[in-house]
Structure 1
Amino acid sequence: MTFGKTIKMFLIDGDPSGRLTCELSNWTGLAYRIPRTEVKKCGDRPNLNSTGVYMLFGRNDDDKEAVYIGEAEEVYTRLQSHLREKDFWNEVIVFISKDENFNKAHIKYIENKLYEKAKATNRYDVLNGNIPPMPSISEADCAEMDEFISNLLMMVNTLGHKLFEEIKDNLDSTNSEAWYINAARGAKAKGVQTQEGFVVLKESRIAISIVDSFSERLIAKRDDLIHSGKIQFINDEYIVMEDLLFSSPSLAAAIVMGRSANGLAEWKDTYGKSLKDFT
């Protein structure tokens, strides 16, 4: 059973794009979202120099969303060093404990769990050079930290980053059944609608060739998926190697079929009814 949540945000400088704090009712955690350009102002936040974990958000050299996940016993001091040493990031989200109950082992445990979760969801390029080590803590402490992490994941999503969100986590409850395309040139795909768009599922097949009229934009998108290894040519078929999120059913259908397509008409259920029939 899920319950409603109350989240309180405070704009520190009265600017919605500036520094803010974020709190969840009945939770000891406190989140800060700070633009890179505002980090030096945070000397006025004494609790930022306590023990915590943080995520640096930006884009990598290929213009893909990227993140660095870290921990520190004095977070503000560490962030100042990152200003000098890491140039990819433009925003940081920090989590500390309002009751100052974190020790070094606690934050290393959280750091490791966040790293593993971010790698598993594969939404962002995780720029950590090494896997954060897992410390030895008691079973009781593990349970407490896991509960803290559960709320932390929700807060990161609330603050605009789907770093830890599985692509298929947010299925559209009104239309969550599977949809299919069986078409020319080997296109045979299965997909689902989510709150973010349309997901073509792993092991789907896309057309082995494209039509002459296929737009340059769509060719570039298809080529990028192939070159990144998300779609691979195996046994004379192009196979989808992981769930792929598209902004619309039409874009998903076009990539699958190798031609321009109206996704509302092309994606059909097992009875042959199209998405359009359900809108």
Structure 2
Amino acid sequence: MIRVKTLTIQLIDAQPNRIRICRVEGESLVTVVVPRDDLSEAKFLPNIPSRGIYYLLDEDHGNVSRVYAGQTTQGIARLEAHKTRKEFWNKAVMFLDDDQNISKDALDVLEAKAIDYVRTHGSYETDNLVTPKPYMDPYKEESVERLHDKILFRMAALGYDLNRVDQGPVSSAAIFHTKKNGVCGTGRYSKDTGHFTVLAGSNVDMSRPIQKNAAVTTLRNELFGGLSGIVELAEDLEFPTPSAAAVFVLGGSQNGWTEWVNDAGCTLDQVYRSEEN
């Protein structure tokens, strides 16, 4: 027997790459896709519910390299704070409903499920470092699980598959480098662990402060003390993610998947995550 779901998509200003409003027949949940550059316009969309969860994505043609999951009771307006505080994302996907359809305790558990999923699935980085553990009424747990499944279905239908794991054929010994702002750093990526090792002899730009990464800030201070300007790393250092390695070398806020490139000019993302590999 063929099972059919009808997904309708409204394109604001008839622009397929801008704001999209998506609904599934028979479901009250409203999905809104908001490009970062269109946030000011999206905040004034009429008749959009205010309670639900959202994903902030760093994505390129459906290829997701970084994800953050959160909850909102403010609807689209919640994204305004993230536009100020989080630089990495270029698209938000929100799943919103009325308060009577998602209670506050159900919302807390739904957010926890979303965070746990992005921390344990897919080959992308996440800014969610800890999974919340809220109390859940056992009589409501099944309905929240069904809602989470519906959200994952819509994400995949829109081209953002949070479960996709890309396999790259390149040896872990391949060298990647960055030369941003005249800072020359080199390193290796391990596909098995997801870690990135910055190699001895790499430059480290101590003149540029780090944004919101206390662990990397502490490490730089321990290694280089009060030094300023561009300094040289004396020994190899391993980092849990390519972005942490890029932040260590360059300062500021960096996306390591696009910052580290090989000798052919291909980014780490293109080498290890591209569906064309």
TM-score tier after normalising by the smaller chain length: 0.5 to 0.7
What CA distance in whole angstroms lies between the structure 1 residues aligned with 2:65 and 2:164?
15
Is the Cα–Cα contact under 8 Å of residues 123 and 162 in structure 1 kept in the other structure? no
- Report how far residue 82 of structure 1 moved: 1.1
- Report how far residue 137 of structure 1 moved: 2.5
- Report how far residue 161 of structure 1 moved: 1.1
What CA distance in whole angstroms lies between the structure 2 residues aligned with 1:80 and 1:4?
36
**Which gives a bigger RCO, structure 1 or 2 (Cα 8 Å, sep 6+)?**
2
Q: What secondary structure is seen at the aligned counterpart in 2 of 1:13? A: helix
Is the Cα–Cα contact under 8 Å of residues 36 and 89 in structure 1 kept in the other structure? yes
Alignment of 1:107-146 (within 5 A): 107-131=107-131, 133-146=132-145
- Report how far residue 45 of structure 1 moved: 2.3
**Superposition misfits of 4+ residues, deviation over 6 angstroms:** 197-200, 206-209
TM normalised by structure 2 equals 0.58
Q: Which residue of 2 aligns with 1:194?
A: none
Q: Which residue of 1 aligns with 2:159?
A: 160
Is the Cα–Cα contact under 8 Å of residues 50 and 99 in structure 2 kept in the other structure? no
Change (3 A) 1:245 1:56: closer
Is the Cα–Cα contact under 8 Å of residues 18 and 34 in structure 2 kept in the other structure? yes
Q: What secondary structure is seen at the aligned counterpart in 1 of 2:27? A: coil
Alignment of 1:207-218 (within 5 A): none
Gaps of 5+ in 2: 177-186, 196-271
Change (3 A) 1:225 1:50: same
Does residue 34 (structure 1) correspond to residue 15 (structure 2)? The answer is: no
Q: What secondary structure is seen at the aligned counterpart in 1 of 2:130? A: coil
- Structure possessing the higher radius of gyration over alpha carbons: 1
Alignment of 1:5-16 (within 5 A): 5-16=5-16
- Report how far residue 46 of structure 1 moved: 4.4
Q: What secondary structure is seen at the aligned counterpart in 1 of 2:13? A: coil
Change (3 A) 1:220 1:111: same
How many residues align? The count is: 189
- Report how far residue 3 of structure 1 moved: 2.2
Change (3 A) 1:44 1:230: closer
Is the Cα–Cα contact under 8 Å of residues 8 and 22 in structure 2 kept in the other structure? yes
Q: What secondary structure is seen at the aligned counterpart in 2 of 1:139? A: coil
- Report how far residue 148 of structure 1 moved: 0.9
- Report how far residue 33 of structure 1 moved: 0.3
Q: What secondary structure is seen at the aligned counterpart in 2 of 1:157? A: helix
- Report how far residue 36 of structure 1 moved: 0.5
Alignment of 1:153-192 (within 5 A): 153-163=152-162, 165-167=163-165
What CA distance in whole angstroms lies between the structure 2 residues aligned with 1:23 and 1:124?
27
Q: Which residue of 1 aligns with 2:87?
A: 87
Is the Cα–Cα contact under 8 Å of residues 50 and 100 in structure 1 kept in the other structure? no
Is the Cα–Cα contact under 8 Å of residues 56 and 69 in structure 2 kept in the other structure? yes
What CA distance in whole angstroms lies between the structure 2 residues aligned with 1:130 and 1:6?
35
Gaps of 5+ in 1: 168-196, 201-205, 210-218, 232-243, 252-279
Q: Which residue of 2 aligns with 1:96?
A: 96
